[in-house]
Structure 1
Amino acid sequence: MAIHWFHPPVYVEIDRPGLTYGCNNVEGAAAELMKWTKRGPKWKEAVEVCMALIEGDRTPDDVRKAFEAAAEEEGLLRSSN
């Protein structure tokens, strides 16, 4: 299966204190979403967009936007700096 890249990366806090993950592909976003313990409405939407991409109904940029919104909702979104 091909990697579905997007740009710019979405930076999120991960489960290791002080570390940030710069996610730049759909597969990484989906894997990261599965690790989150808080799963609000934006999380659910991001997972659905990931699944729709597999079906050919969405784009990697759609996933990036949904992943970023979910990370912001959960308080995990970080700056690229």
Structure 2
Amino acid sequence: MSLHWFSPPVSVRTTRPGIAYQCNNVEGAAEQLLQWTKRGPKWHSAVQLCMDAMIDQVKPEVVRRAFSKRPRKRET
């Protein structure tokens, strides 16, 4: 399976203080979402977009835009 790339990358804080993940593909965005502990409606929408992009139902750029609108740090 090939990665679904987007640009520019989205900076996401990780659980490690001061460390940010530069997400530049749908699969990376999905991986980060799966590490979040708070899984409300916005989280579910973002995961669904990632799944849709992985089966080419939406363009990766749609995921990037949606992901960049999410909180930049992991919801706890």
The TM-score by the shorter chain falls in which range?
0.7 to 0.9
SS in 1 for 2:43: helix
Could you say which residue in structure 2 is the equivalent of 1:16? 16
CA contact (8 A) 1:4 1:26 kept: yes
Map residues 1-81 of structure 1 onto 2, 5 A cutoff: 1-70=1-70, 72=71, 76=73
SS in 1 for 2:49: helix
Please report how far the alpha carbon of residue 69 of structure 1 lies from its aligned counterpart in structure 2 after TM superposition.
2.1
CA RMSD of superposed structures (Å): 1.5
TM-score (norm 1): 0.81
Write the letter of the residue equivalent to 1:37: T
Please report how far the alpha carbon of residue 15 of structure 1 lies from its aligned counterpart in structure 2 after TM superposition.
0.8
Listed as ranges, the gaps of 5+ residues in structure 2 are: none
Write the letter of the residue equivalent to 1:76: K
Q: Give structure 1 regions of 4+ aligned residues with deviation exceeding 6 angstroms.
A: none
Listed as ranges, the gaps of 5+ residues in structure 1 are: none
